[in-house]
Structure 1
Amino acid sequence: MAVDTSARTATWTYVDGEWISGNPPLIGPVSHAMWLGSTVFDGARWFDGIAPDLDAHCRRVNRSAANMGMKATVSDEEIERLAWEGVKKFDGKTAIYIKPMYWAEHGQAGSVVAPDPESTRFALCLFEAPMHTAKPHSLTLSPFRRPTPECAMTDAKTGSLYPNSGRMIVEARARGFDNALVRDMNGNVVETASSNVFMVKDGVVSTPAANRTFLAGITRARVIGLLRAAGYEVREVTLSVEDFMDADEIFTSGNYSKVAPVNRLDGRELQEGPVARKALELYMDWARTTRVG
């Protein structure tokens, strides 16, 4: 197989029984995934010898494949085993992004738009990606919205949802912000363009209730559980833009950067707060008890 070695960082991909370095050409112009968007993926992190919640990310990519109408061809446990195998190909100094993915090669007979589950392919891609944990960032309210389950494949972590996130970020950065605060079609805040979001008011932590319009993340659930176990009141509720503008502190959670404070929301300046610091401390303390592999 000819291999494109233009990957931006050290990269290894497992596909069809072998590990390939660089950026292997796997999807062609007639592949269903290329022109009709049948792709799902997930993302876990390896850093400091640990890969927190890797098993949960492996389970979720298989759920995403099924929800997308494809066939999960590799077991959760085998994906996890392969991920640890792949980690050993790196130098162990830089954090790694672990990305299992499925896509369809063909459409169904008589209805090419729908993916043919029997044509499902699997790849596991690992690449170096430094952590940006606790790095403050700014948000602005996005003019764009998250779709409802009736309008898009919101029950899968699918690549087809991400162009919407991309335009949110492009629009926000054009106005001098790092990311965007995003609403659903009813005008309620649900997340940012690329992470889940929390706010704190009078010591109470709140995060948007999972309503199937956004990805209620694995790291989000972990942070909620850890904060509650530490004695914080954490509410999963419907939240408005006004709630966030009145918050004492705002922070985000996500697999890529774990927990990070928000230092500006539109015209309002914010300080990194004690709850965000505690959430990150709790997460890292928990993560370092999960060392396996």
Structure 2
Amino acid sequence: MAVDTSPRSTTWTYVEGEWISGNPPLIGPTSHAMWLASTVFDGSRWFDGIAPDLDEHCKRVNRSAVSMGMKAVVAAEEIERLAWEGIAKFDGKTAIYIKPMYWAEHGQPGSIVAADPESTRFALCLFEAPLGAAQPSKLTLSPFRRPTPECAMTDAKAGSLYPNSGRMIIEARSRGFDNALVRDMNGNVVETASSNVFMVKDGVVFTPVPNRTFLAGITRARVIGLLRAAGYEVREQTLTVEDFIGADEIFTSGNYSKVAPVSRLDDRELQEGPMTRTALKLYMDWARTTRVG
């Protein structure tokens, strides 16, 4: 049977000392990652000659590997160096998604369900992906919840967490929305299905306090720091659905699109507000001061 391994955009993957074009078949049917989900990844961005917080994303993927019971077999500094090496293979025009990954090839002797850390493998995949910053989204409250650390590997950016996010988005789109506002098991808002979330009320910025049920992202932390440095009040606290319904503005942050406004939450229409524009401008102004590879 012929297998189509061609990617949807220009793609380069580094694995075991070699850069390979396209979508190389790296995981087989007996690989632990294939049937028992021992995968972690991270994502950074290159655009306009810069890769903001690339070093932090490289550090986080190594922390994720350890949290999942694997080994961080490539130093974060080496992952960053390889990323810049890979960036040079592109045309320098289209934004790039930078995705370091770890997975286990085998289970532990005597307990195949647990990943064998000695079988950890690493790959670094880069592919073209337009940035799409500041595109507004329509949110609806999801009927699905984020798991607690006792129920899932929430301390890692684990591939196994994302089917839950996927079903949240599928359900939201079935009702005419782009994404979903998501709660934890206690009913408090924690994020959207694919990004961190902020709300603004009376000039104060609020965002859910990290409680280990969601990934408190690197871009989120950067936005919080930049807003505070510019003199704005930002509070990390427990937030309810009612808090978001009564917000003056809602915006999201994430590596894929950076800062983006929310134009609707269920039945309520929202305008892109001044704090959302300020957050995006502060982020982009900061990003363009970072080093060029």
TM superposition score normalised by structure 2 = 0.99
In structure 2, the partner of 1:61 is: 61
Q: Counterparts of 2:193 and 2:272 in 1: how far apart (Å)? A: 20
Q: Deviations over 1:48-94 (max 9, x none)?
A: 00000000000000000000000010000000000000000000110
In structure 2, the partner of 1:246 is: 246
3-state DSSP of counterpart to 1:13: strand
C-alpha RMSD over aligned residues: 1.0
Q: Deviations over 1:223-259 (max 9, x none)?
A: 0000000110000000000000000000000000000
1:163 maps to amino acid:
P
In structure 2, the partner of 1:278 is: 278
Q: Counterparts of 2:108 and 2:221 in 1: how far apart (Å)? A: 36
Q: Counterparts of 2:69 and 2:203 in 1: how far apart (Å)? A: 43
2:103 maps to amino acid:
W
Cα contact 1:198–1:251 (8 A) shared by 2: yes
2:14 maps to amino acid:
Y
In structure 2, the partner of 1:126 is: 126
Cα contact 2:5–2:25 (8 A) shared by 1: no
Q: Counterparts of 2:104 and 2:291 in 1: how far apart (Å)? A: 34
Q: Counterparts of 2:201 and 2:107 in 1: how far apart (Å)? A: 50
2:213 maps to amino acid:
T
After TM superposition, list the pairs within 5 Å mapping 1:181-260 onto structure 2. Answer: 181-260=181-260
Q: Counterparts of 1:123 and 1:223 in 2: how far apart (Å)? A: 29
Distance 1:3 1:10, change over 3 A: farther
In structure 2, the partner of 1:111 is: 111
3-state DSSP of counterpart to 2:26: coil
3-state DSSP of counterpart to 1:48: coil
3-state DSSP of counterpart to 1:127: strand
Cα contact 1:41–1:99 (8 A) shared by 2: yes
In structure 2, the partner of 1:102 is: 102
Q: Deviations over 1:211-234 (max 9, x none)?
A: 000000000000000000011000
Q: Counterparts of 2:5 and 2:287 in 1: how far apart (Å)? A: 33
Cα contact 2:141–2:266 (8 A) shared by 1: yes
2:128 maps to amino acid:
E
Cα deviation for residue 264 of structure 1 reads: 0.2
Cα contact 1:4–1:25 (8 A) shared by 2: no
Q: Counterparts of 1:152 and 1:175 in 2: how far apart (Å)? A: 28
In structure 2, the partner of 1:268 is: 268
After TM superposition, the runs of 4+ consecutive aligned structure 1 residues lying more than 6 A away are none
Q: Counterparts of 2:167 and 2:23 in 1: how far apart (Å)? A: 25
Cα contact 1:3–1:23 (8 A) shared by 2: no
Count of residues in correspondence between the two structures: 292
Cα contact 2:70–2:104 (8 A) shared by 1: yes
Cα contact 1:3–1:22 (8 A) shared by 2: no
2:115 maps to amino acid:
P
Cα contact 1:4–1:24 (8 A) shared by 2: no
In structure 1, the partner of 2:153 is: 153
Cα contact 1:191–1:208 (8 A) shared by 2: yes
Q: Counterparts of 1:17 and 1:131 in 2: how far apart (Å)? A: 29
Cα deviation for residue 6 of structure 1 reads: 1.2
Q: Counterparts of 2:63 and 2:136 in 1: how far apart (Å)? A: 33
Unaligned runs of 5+ in 1: none
1:280 maps to amino acid:
L
Q: Counterparts of 2:262 and 2:155 in 1: how far apart (Å)? A: 27
TM superposition score normalised by structure 1 = 0.99
